[in-house]
């Protein structure tokens, strides 16, 4: 079945460090890929998305590129801030299906 695997957390970095959170997927069709962010005590917010191979999603300094050859959608940011501390979820949905499949989430903590 369709699935998403994220790098295990928690991840702790210092402010201004480079961030990578790995995400790989298994899908039978042609998925769209998403990153969501969850701040403490809140719901999830869409951070960025990509709908086809080689697309790059970007928002708030975060980027992720849809790599079909490696079935990956790694999240990156060049210089993290304390306010980036949150849980990050990678997700996919198959074209024509509205249901999203989520990874297990990666907790990120940024220290000043």
Partner 1 sequence: DGGITQSPKYLFRKEGQNVTLSCEQNLNHDAMYWYRQDPGQGLRLIYYSQIVNDFQKGDIAEGYSVSREKKESFPLTVTSAQKNPTAFYLCASSIQGTGYTFGSGTRLTVV
Q: By C-alpha distance, which of 72, 75, 60, 74 is closest to 26? A: 72
Q: Is 88 in the site for partner 1 (CB under 8 A)?
A: no
Q: Is 42 in the site for partner 1 (CB under 8 A)?
A: yes
The set of residues, in sequence order, having a beta carbon less than 8 Å from that of 80 and lying 6+ positions away, is: 13, 15, 16, 17, 18, 19, 108, 110
Identified binder of partner 1 from the candidate list 21, 23, 75, 103, rule CB under 8 A: 103
Measured in degrees and rounded to the nearest 5, phi and psi for residue 83 equal -70, -10
Closer of 17 and 104 to partner 1 (Cβ): 104
First to last CA, the chain: 41
Q: Is 44 in the site for partner 1 (CB under 8 A)?
A: yes
Q: Is 41 in the site for partner 1 (CB under 8 A)?
A: yes
Residues that bind partner 1 (CB under 8 A): 32, 34, 36, 41-46, 49, 89, 91, 93, 98-100, 102-105, 107
């Amino acid at each position: 079945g369709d699935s998403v695997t994220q790098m295990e957390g928690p991840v702790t970095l210092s402010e201004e460090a480079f961030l990578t959170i790995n995400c790989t997927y298994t899908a039978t069709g042609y998925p769209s890929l998403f990153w969501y962010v969850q701040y403490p005590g809140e719901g999830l917010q869409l951070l960025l998305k990509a709908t086809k191979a080689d697309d790059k999603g970007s928002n708030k300094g975060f980027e992720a590129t849809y790599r079909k050859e490696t079935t990956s959608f790694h999240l990156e940011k060049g210089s993290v801030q304390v306010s980036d501390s949150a849980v990050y979820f990678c997700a996919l949905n198959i074209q024509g299906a509205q249901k999203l499949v989520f990874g297990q989430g990666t907790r990120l903590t940024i220290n000043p």
